[in-house]
């Protein structure tokens, strides 16, 4: 890599050739103010807040767009630069309505921060505001054009990160406006409610309704965790205040998602109105009573000992943590000898002998073959990556017998019976990637094996943690008939209900660990409250095999516990010395996944 020598504010520094002045300054810890710039987005140089003085240049230049060259001398805080930035800011404040005390984002706004930094505490010019429209039609967020500075971050986020291209710039000059499609209300537009545009907006022009007027950044607590809504395992930041979860933000450092989330990850958990389970409950023919955790463990241990391994059945929802799956293996399979165990979701079949890669492979592919999987419907952030590759010229072949949400974007749509054609087409391309899921039948698996050796494979699991379940061989098969004690680890997912009791005898003792009340918990003999997504701890393995951390952002309601805590208490009650640590899990999975 070629290196160039430059000076910034008199400091000699060496940086890679070709990077911008802004990137060079940031590498050296020199702060240059920005507004339209965002590290995850392309550079447009729209706001002019980042202007700097470069020796030999007639005018001040925007640091975010100007590339460094050898010998360049840059001043980022000269009197002329500060004066010009202050003028830019005064003009931004005088256009539209930036009356901070009445703005939801006051205290969390990058424009307001700049105002404080440059001492802009009043309007230098009479304001040009026409009382622009506020679009409040979207369920989850609001667009107030009066607060918009036309930085274009939202447009770039929608196009470059989500590849949805809903947002664009309409009208002209000072009347320019962020439009959804052909200037439609947001709720009638092609917006898919991922909320990414809101996350990148630097002002109060776009904000989330759920957290509106609930406090500013400095009053919020942010905890990094992992989305457990699907197998992509996107990195999230859970934003809370006073023990209430207000927002879910994408973690820009999240390896699977790099800041982007889908509606299911960003909004759905915030609007989950299901009833929580108050405390452990024991139900018998004599009635029902709330009991302590100690008594719940005693009751469960007593039944386990009474019925013996052949009459125990265990059903595990796909959101079970790695630690819980590890304990199921150690306690139920290895120690107690139980083999009647199943996961609610079955894993995708592995196409053995073929190179499997991470989702990042999608970006470098020129032909994407999607088969037995519908990521746009079920694992949207993976589909955003596919659509981004299409924007860059990749071809998409969708092979599916059902309606597939990616079909409208595909160059070729084929039935599973025609998979041979798809394999032939993909084999002709220099860098094909096959994205496949559990919906792929065995004959199609065999056909796929015939694809060129240049192909990379990415398995997309439908179950959140089926990767670990497969690695630990937890899915042993399940027969309902002989079961006299059924333990269901249901977690907080919406999957699983009374249908799980199909063919289970009326005298079977049913114990359920669940985040929410359901028909299943109404029928159970023992109900135990499970910590939900924002309360639980542990790890999950995503579809790529990455082990990701779950951190609790709020105290579990009603003394609810994480799945692995309950299993560890149960092991102790049964007199088994089995514990689990993050290292145990990581070591076991390092070889198995």
Member of 115, 269, 280, 380 binding ligand SF4 (CB under 6 A) = 380
325 binds, among ligand FES, ligand SF4, none (CB under 5 to 8 A by kind): none
Closest distance to ligand FES from the beta carbon of 22 (Å): 7
Tokens 């709020």 map to which residue? 554
CA 325/CA 318 separation, integer angstroms: 10
Contacts of 337 (CB under 8 A, 6+ apart): 309
135 binds, among ligand FES, ligand SF4, none (CB under 5 to 8 A by kind): none
Member of 34, 211, 257, 537 binding ligand SF4 (CB under 6 A) = 257
Contacts of 487 (CB under 8 A, 6+ apart): 300, 312, 313, 314, 315, 511, 512, 513
Closest distance to ligand FES from the beta carbon of 375 (Å): 34
Closest distance to ligand FES from the beta carbon of 26 (Å): 12
153 binds, among ligand FES, ligand SF4, none (CB under 5 to 8 A by kind): ligand SF4
Contacts of 309 (CB under 8 A, 6+ apart): 336, 337, 338, 339
Q: Which is nearer to ligand SF4, 199 or 340 (CB)?
A: 199
191 binds, among ligand FES, ligand SF4, none (CB under 5 to 8 A by kind): ligand SF4
Q: Does 249 bind ligand SF4 (CB under 6 A)?
A: no
Instruction: Select the span of 160-168, 303-311, 366-374, 412-420 touching ligand SF4 (CB under 6 A).
Output: 160-168
201 binds, among ligand SF4, ligand FES, none (CB under 5 to 8 A by kind): ligand SF4
Q: Which of residues 386-405 bind ligand SF4 (CB under 6 A)?
A: none
Member of 6, 49, 157, 368 binding ligand SF4 (CB under 6 A) = 157
Member of 194, 245, 371, 512 binding ligand SF4 (CB under 6 A) = 194
Q: Does 162 bind ligand SF4 (CB under 6 A)?
A: yes
Quote the crossing angle between the two packed helices 79-94 and 110-117, to the nearest 10°: 130
Q: Does 406 bind ligand SF4 (CB under 6 A)?
A: no
Phi (first) and psi of residue 207, to 5 degrees: -145, 155
Helix/strand/coil for 385: helix
Supply 53's token pair. 């003085």
Q: What does the per-residue mask of binding to ligand SF4 show for 112-151, with x meaning CB under 6 A?
A: ------------------------------------xxxx
Q: Which of 52, 56, 51, 48 is nearest to 72 (CA)?
A: 56
Q: Which is nearer to ligand FES, 63 or 406 (CB)?
A: 63
Supply 270's token pair. 């915030």
Member of 84, 89, 201, 371 binding ligand SF4 (CB under 6 A) = 201
304 binds, among ligand FES, ligand SF4, none (CB under 5 to 8 A by kind): none
Q: Are 372 and 440 in contact (CB under 8 A)?
A: yes
Q: Which of 317, 320, 316 is nearest to 340 (CA)?
A: 316
Residues that bind ligand FES (CB under 6 A): 34-37, 45-50, 62, 64
Q: Which is nearer to ligand SF4, 157 or 447 (CB)?
A: 157
Q: Does 233 bind ligand SF4 (CB under 6 A)?
A: yes
Q: Which is nearer to ligand FES, 22 or 369 (CB)?
A: 22
Q: Does 153 bind ligand SF4 (CB under 6 A)?
A: yes
Closest distance to ligand FES from the beta carbon of 28 (Å): 17
Tell me the number of residues near ligand SF4 by CB under 6 A: 40
Cα 354 vs. chain centroid, distance in angstroms?
A: 28
- Residue 538: left (phi > 0), alpha (psi -120 to 50), or beta? left
- Residue 575: left (phi > 0), alpha (psi -120 to 50), or beta? left
CA 424/CA 399 separation, integer angstroms: 13
Instruction: Select the span of 9-17, 154-162, 298-306, 564-572 touching ligand SF4 (CB under 6 A).
Output: 154-162
CA neighbours closer than 13 Å in the CB half-sphere of residue 531: 24
CA 508/CA 3 separation, integer angstroms: 72
Supply 30's token pair. 């020199």
64 binds, among ligand SF4, ligand FES, none (CB under 5 to 8 A by kind): ligand FES
CA 521/CA 29 separation, integer angstroms: 55
- C-alpha dist (Å) from residue 530 to 57, 269, 474, 559, 565: 64, 15, 20, 9, 10
Closest distance to ligand FES from the beta carbon of 87 (Å): 14
Helix/strand/coil for 532: coil
Using CB under 6 A, list all residues that contact ligand SF4. Answer: 148-154, 157-158, 162, 164, 166-167, 178, 191-197, 201-203, 205-206, 227, 229-230, 232-234, 257, 261-262, 264-265, 379-381
């Amino acid at each position: 890599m070629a290196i160039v020598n430059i000076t910034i504010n008199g400091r000699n520094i060496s940086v890679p050739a070709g990077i911008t002045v802004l990137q060079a300054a940031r590498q050296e810890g020199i702060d240059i103010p920005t507004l339209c710039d965002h590290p995850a987005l392309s550079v447009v140089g729209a706001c002019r807040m980042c202007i700097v003085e470069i020796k030999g240049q007639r005018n001040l230049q925007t640091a975010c767009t100007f590339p460094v060259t050898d010998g360049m001398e840059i001043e980022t805080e000269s009197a002329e630069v500060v004066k010009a930035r202050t003028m830019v800011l005064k003009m931004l404040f005088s256009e539209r309505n930036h009356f901070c005390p009445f703005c939801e984002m006051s205290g969390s706004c990058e424009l307001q921060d700049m105002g404080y930094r440059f001492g802009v505490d009043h309007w230098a010019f009479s304001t040009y505001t026409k009382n622009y429209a506020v679009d409040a039609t979207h369920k989850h967020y609001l667009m107030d054009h009066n607060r918009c500075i036309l930085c274009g971050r939202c447009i770039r986020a929608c196009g470059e990160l989500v590849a949805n291209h809903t947002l664009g710039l309409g009208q002209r000059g000072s009347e320019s406006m962020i439009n959804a499609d052909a200037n439609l209300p947001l709720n009638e537009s092609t917006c898919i409610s991922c909320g990414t545009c809101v996350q990148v907006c630097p002002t109060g022009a776009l904000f989330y309704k759920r957290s509106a007027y609930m406090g500013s950044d400095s009053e919020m607590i942010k905890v990094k965790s992992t989305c457990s809504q699907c197998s992509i395992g996107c990195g999230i930041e859970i934003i809370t205040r006073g023990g209430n979860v207000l927002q879910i933000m994408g973690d820009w450092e999240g390896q699977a998602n790099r800041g982007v989330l889908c509606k299911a990850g960003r909004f759905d958990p915030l609007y989950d109105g299901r009833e929580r389970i108050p405390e452990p409950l024991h139900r018998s023919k004599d009635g029902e009573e709330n009991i302590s955790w100690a008594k719940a463990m005693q009751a469960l241990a007593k039944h386990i000992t009474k019925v013996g391994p052949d009459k125990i059945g265990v059903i595990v929802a796909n959101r079970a943590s790695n630690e819980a799956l590890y304990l199921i293996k150690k306690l139920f399979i290895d120690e107690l000898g139980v083999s009647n165990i199943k996961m609610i979701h079955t894993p995708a079949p592995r196409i053995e002998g073929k190179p499997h890669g991470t989702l990042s492979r999608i970006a470098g592919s020129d032909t994407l073959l999607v088969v037995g999987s519908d990521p746009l419907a079920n694992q949207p952030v993976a589909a955003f990556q596919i659509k981004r590759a299409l924007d860059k010229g990749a071809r998409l072949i969708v092979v599916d017998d059902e309606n597939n949400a990616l079909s409208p974007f595909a160059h070729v749509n084929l039935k599973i019976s025609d998979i041979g054609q798809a394999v032939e087409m993909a084999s002709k391309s220099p860098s094909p990637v096959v994205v496949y899921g559990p919906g792929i039948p065995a004959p199609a698996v065999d056909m796929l094996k015939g694809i060129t050796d240049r192909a990379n494979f990415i398995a997309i699991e439908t179950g959140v943690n089926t990767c670990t379940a497969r690695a630990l061989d937890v899915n042993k098969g399940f027969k309902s008939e002989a079961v006299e004690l059924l333990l269901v680890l249901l977690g907080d997912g919406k999957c699983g209900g009374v249908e799980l009791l199909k063919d289970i005898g009326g005298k079977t003792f049913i114990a359920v660990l669940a985040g929410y009340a359901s028909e299943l918990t109404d029928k159970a003999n023992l109900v135990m409250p499970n910590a939900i997504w924002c309360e639980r701890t542990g790890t999950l393995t995503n579809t790529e095999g990455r082990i990701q951390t779950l951190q609790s952002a709020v105290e579990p309601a009603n003394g609810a516990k994480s799945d692995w805590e309950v299993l560890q208490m149960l092991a102790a009650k049964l007199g088994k010395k089995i514990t689990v640590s993050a290292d145990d899990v990581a070591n076991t999975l390092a070889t198995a996944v």
